[in-house]
């Protein structure tokens, strides 16, 4: 997977406009990540597998996405 070109944001002359763009990008990435975590869990991935893919601890990913909040799945 290739790197995302952030030069349109970081090259923005107005730092406040760049911050707004960065915030919008962060929100979109959070939504996309949540969808992918849900897909991974529905596909049988463990919290440890997902944590490894995200580069965080199992506890961190479980706290953010875990428990009954994720499509009613039971914790494991």
pLDDT score recorded for residue 70: 55
Asked whether residue 18 is assigned to any structural domain, the reply reads: yes
Tokens encoding 64: 């953010």
Q: What's the number of domains the chain is made of? A: 1
Is 32 in contact with 24 (CB distance < 8 Å)?
A: no
Asked whether residue 76 is assigned to any structural domain, the reply reads: no
Mean pLDDT of 32-47: 95
Asked whether residue 74 is assigned to any structural domain, the reply reads: no
Mean pLDDT of 52-71: 84
33: domain range?
Answer: 7-69
% pLDDT > 90, the chain: 53
Asked whether residue 2 is assigned to any structural domain, the reply reads: no
Asked whether residue 75 is assigned to any structural domain, the reply reads: no
DSSP 14: S
pLDDT score recorded for residue 76: 46
Prediction pTM value: 0.74
pLDDT score recorded for residue 28: 95
Asked whether residue 50 is assigned to any structural domain, the reply reads: yes
Asked whether residue 1 is assigned to any structural domain, the reply reads: no
Mean pLDDT of 43-68: 92
Asked whether residue 46 is assigned to any structural domain, the reply reads: yes
């Amino acid at each position: 997977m290739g790197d995302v070109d952030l030069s349109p944001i970081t090259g923005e002359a107005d730092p406040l406009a760049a911050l707004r763009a960065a915030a919008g990008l962060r929100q979109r990435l959070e939504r996309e990540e949540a969808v992918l975590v849900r897909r991974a869990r529905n596909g049988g991935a463990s919290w440890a597998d997902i944590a490894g893919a995200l580069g965080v601890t199992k506890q961190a990913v479980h706290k953010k996405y875990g428990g009954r909040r994720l499509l009613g799945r039971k914790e494991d």
